[in-house]
Amino acid sequence: MTDSAARAASPADFSPAQPPAETTAFGVIVAISACHLLNDMMQSLLPAIYPNLKAGLGLSFGQIGVLTLAYQITASILQPLVGLYADKRPTPMALPGGVLFSLAGLLVLSIAHTYGLLLVGAALLGMGSSVFHPESSRVARMAAGGRHGLAQSLFQVGGNAGSALGPLAAALVVVRFGQSSLAAFALLAVLMFAILWNVAIWYRHHGLERLRAAARRGVGPIDLPRGKALRGIAILLALIFSKYVYLASLTSYFTFYLIHRFAVSVETAQLHLFVFLASVAVGTVAGGPLGDRFGRKPVIWISILGVLPFSLLLPHASLFWTGPLTVVIGLLLASAFPAIVVFAQELAPGKVGMISGLFFGFSFGMGGLGAAVLGELADLKGIDAVYRVCAWLPAIGLLAAFLPNLARKRT
């Protein structure tokens, strides 16, 4: 990936009148978004083989839970640590290097016939994700040319697409051909490695220079006391909790809810879920540019708290209105994440990797934990109770009122 390639993709943005650090390298952003799609598609293959593993190896639900935990620990908890290290010692080749963990994880999982090997494969798969997210988010910021929200949106929508395509790929290949077919998906890791190798070369020769050029333009760090910055990050994490637990209620249990409440077919329920996921993708693309245009704090406020009226109506809506309500919920909720990540990066200048890893890891962990807790709630109180309880989660958006107003020092 070179500046010339990015220049060809967007000639107007690389006009001679603009310094290189102020241009948006769309070629680089598209490349990491495509890799985000491949990464999240590969990550979603692990749950697809759970039925095969349970039947073939006689695993208990508890053992499957530990398998998920092994993946989540490496995929979630390691992300901020990887990001913190990269902030201190930028390592461009970590991007393609991290893919080797995912490649190894898929190969191990494809041949694992003991529980110990399954745990190793799951951990390796998670390690690949833990390296990819913070470093690729850093590249998105380098390539943004000041349009940080847009860059994060385009990067994030790749992951959304990958998460949506993963179950489809699993249904077409893994369910049909079994555990060993995971080895075929290792080819995706090879493709991802090749793309990220070129991105890493751009990172080494151009990305770091962009950061130095931005500093030379006189934009100093955020003029904010450390205590207020930490409070802002804590508030943003609370908003992430609200967003991802509510999203987990829909991505994990919405089809069950529709079948139970309205007696629709599985196909109809899946169509509703697809429409919701499509609205999430659109919202993700829109959220970043809106934050660039109108400010991140208003977008965060509206995208979280603005969901509340619709989430409160959802448990009482007819089938006809359930679809539009979930579309609005998906559009609003998804628009929050790019704005939240960029806001947090601005609260902690110089720690882009750590912040990216923290927020991507936390969002992943909250989604998984939320799905588990909501599953227990559904077992105890019924599927309807999930949406009556979750309807109040967007009220956490009131905390956005306490986010600090950002002002930069001029040097």
**What does the block give as tokens for 60?**
């208990």
As a residue count, the chain comes to: 411
Count of C-beta atoms within a 10 Å radius of residue 169: 20
Lowest mean pLDDT among 5-19, 75-89, 361-375: 5-19
- Write the CB contacts of 19 (distance below 8 Å, at least 6 apart in sequence): 213, 217
Tokens of 185: 């998906």
Environment class of residue 187 by beta-carbon count within 10 Å: exposed (0-12), middle (13-18) or buried (19+)? Answer: exposed
Find the range with the poorest average confidence among 304-318, 331-345, 366-380.
366-380
Among 330, 313, 321, residue whose Cα is nearest residue 243? 330
Supply the pLDDT for residue 212.
Answer: 63
pLDDT-derived band at 216 (thresholds 50, 70, 90) equals low
pLDDT recorded at residue 172: 78
The b-or-e profile of 23-57 (16+ CB within 10 A means b, else e) is bbbbbbbbbbbbbbbbbbbbbbbbebbeeebeeee
Which domains does the chain possess? 3-217 (1.20.1250.20), 222-410 (1.20.1250.20)
CA atoms within 13 A on the CB side of 362: 20
Residue range 305-324: mean pLDDT, rounded: 94
198 vs 357, more confident: 198
Give the residue from 409, 408, 4 showing the smallest Cα distance to 205.
Answer: 4
pLDDT band at 152 (very low <50, low <70, confident <90, very high): confident
3-state secondary structure of 290: helix
The residues near 335 (Cβ < 8 Å, ≥ 6 apart) are 283, 284, 286, 287, 290, 299, 303
What integer pLDDT is reported at residue 217 of this predicted model? 55
pLDDT confidence of 407, banded at 50, 70, 90? low
Which residues are within 8 A (CB) of 326 and not within 5 positions of it... i.e. 6 or more apart?
Answer: 250, 254, 272, 275, 276, 279, 314
Judge contact between 123 and 74, C-beta under 8 A. Answer: yes
Beta bridge partners of 222: 408
Q: Is the pLDDT of residue 21 over 60?
A: no
CA distance 6 to 231: 38
230-275 pLDDT per residue, tens: 999 999 999 999 998 898 888 778 888 898 899 988 778 878 888 8
Element (H, E) at 277: helix 266-294
Per-residue pLDDT band for 317 (boundaries 50, 70, 90) equals very high
- CA distance between the termini of the chain: 33
Looking at residue 3, what is its pLDDT? Answer: 45
